[in-house]
Amino acid sequence: MPSTPTIDSAARALAVSQRLLVLSGAGLSAESGIPTFREAQTGLWAQFSPQDLATPEAFAANPERVWAWYRWRRTLIARGGVNAGHRAIAALERHMDVVIATQNVDGLQSTAGSRDVSELHGNIWIDRCSECGDERRQAVAEADEQAPIPTCQSCGAGMRPGVVWFGEMLPMAALERARAELDRCDCVLVVGTSNQVYPAAALVEMAVDGPTPVIEVNPQATAVSPCVDVHIAEAASMALPALVDRLDAMRTAR
Ligand code: OAD
C-alpha cells in the first residue's frame, strides 16, 4: 500500500513515541479467516446466539454444544495463523516498547512474536477446570468438534474453554495492566475493534479522553473515530505494514 496522508500522520506520531499501547480486537484477525463478531452477515453474532454459546449458563445447560463451537473456532484459528497485521505490530518493537491489550482469544499476536500481550478475554487454547481452576494449555492444532469434554487432571471435573464469557469478570491483572499502561504510554493504537464491549471499550474511551495521541485502524468508522487523532480507514493487514515501512523509512532518513 502506498503511503497516504493518514499513514504519514500516524507514522509521525509513532516516530516520536517511546512506549505504545495497542488495543486490538477481532478485526485484526479477520484476514486470517477468523470471523469478527458484529459485522452484518459474516459476524459470529449474526450467525450464532451468544446466549447459547458464550455464557456460564449456556455451558451449564449444554457443555457439549459449547465445546463443539469453541473447537470449531480453534480449527479456524489453527488454519488461519498470523497475518501481516499481527506481524507488523510485532515489528513495531524494533522502534519502541510495545504493550498490547487484546480482546482476541486466538493467541495470534504472541505467535507473531509480540512479547507483552495481555489477553483481556482469555485464551481459547487454554482448558480451565470448572471446579478447581487448574489450567492446561493445548497445542495449536485443528480440533475434533465431537471429542469428549476434557477432564481435569487434578480433580477430575469437566474443563471449560479458558475464555471470558458474558456476565464474567475479566482477568483483573490483564485489565489493571492495560489501565496502568494508558498512563505510561505516549501513543495508543486501536485496531479492529467496534468498541462496543465493556470494559475493554472503556480503555479506548479513556485513551480518547486523555492527552495521548490515538491512532485507529478500522475500515469502518466507530463511535470514537471522530475523536481520535488519526483514523486509518483501511484493513489492518494493509495499513499496519505500511505504517511500519514508513517508520523504517523515517529512521533511515534520520
Ligand atoms: P467486533 O466484531 O465487534 O468488531 C470488529 C471490528 O473490526 C469492526 O469494527 C470492523 O469494522 C473491524 N474490522 C473488520 N475487518 C477489519 C480489518 N481487516 N482490519 C481492521 N479492522 C477490521 O469485534 P470486537 O470489537 O473485537 O467477546 O468484539 C469484542 C468482543 O465482542 C469479543 O472479544 C467477544 C465479542 O462478544 C466475548 O466473547 C466476551
pLDDT digits (tens, 9 = 90+) for 200-216: 999 999 999 999 999 99
144 lies in the same domain as 233: no
Of 111, 136, 163, the residue that ends a domain is 163
Both 247 and 140 in one domain: the answer is: no
- What is the position in ligand 1's atom list of the atom closest to the CA of 217? 20
- CA 212 / ligand 1 centre spacing (Å): 23
Q: Which is more confident, 252 or 31?
A: 31
Sequence-distant (≥ 6) Cβ neighbours of residue 135 within 8 angstroms: 126, 127, 128, 129, 162
User: Which residue's CA lies nearest to atom 21 of ligand 1?
Assistant: 192
pLDDT of residue 1: 67
pLDDT digits (tens, 9 = 90+) for 101-123: 999 999 999 999 999 999 999 99
Whole-angstrom distance, CA of residue 141 vs CA of residue 154: 24
3-state helix, strand, coil in the chain (%, to 5): 40, 20, 40
Active site residue 121: yes
pLDDT category, 251, cuts 50, 70, 90? Answer: confident
Please count the structural domains in the chain: 2
Q: What is the mean pLDDT of residues 34-51?
A: 91
Q: How far does residue 104's CA lie from ligand 1's centre (Å)?
A: 9
C-alpha 30/C-alpha 57 separation (Å) is 28
pTM for the full predicted model: 0.97
Which domain does 53 fall in, by range? Answer: 35-80+122-163
The number of residues making up the chain comes to 254
CATH number, domain containing residue 182: 3.40.50.1220
Indicate the burial class of 254 (C-beta count within 10 angstroms; 0-12, 13-18, 19 or more): exposed
pLDDT of residue 41: 82
Yes or no: say if 20 and 225 are a contact pair by the CB < 8 Å rule. Answer: no
Q: Is 98 in the same domain as 200? A: yes
In the chain, the percentage of residues whose pLDDT exceeds 90 is 94
| Catalytic entry in 86, 95, 121, 231 | 121
d(CA 129, CA 89) in angstroms, rounded, equals 32
Look at ligand 1, atom 37, and give the residue with the nearest C-alpha: 165
Looking at the fold, whether 219 and 174 belong to one and the same domain comes out as yes
The pocket around ligand 1, CB under 6 angstroms, is made up of 25-27, 30-31, 36-39, 43, 54, 103, 121, 164, 166, 192-194, 196-197, 217-220, 222, 235-236
Q: Within a 10 A sphere around the Cβ of 172, how many other Cβ atoms?
A: 8
> What atom in ligand 1 is closest to the CA of residue 24?
26
pLDDT at 60 over 90: yes
- CA 237, 239, 243, 245 dihedral sign is positive
Q: Of 163, 182, 217, which residue is a domain's last?
A: 163
Nearest to 176, CA basis, from 99, 107, 108, 110: 99
Within its chain, how far is the Cα of 57 from the centroid?
Answer: 25
Question: Same domain, yes or no, for 232 and 140?
Answer: no
For the stretch 152-187, pLDDT in tens is: 999 999 999 999 999 999 999 999 999 999 999 999
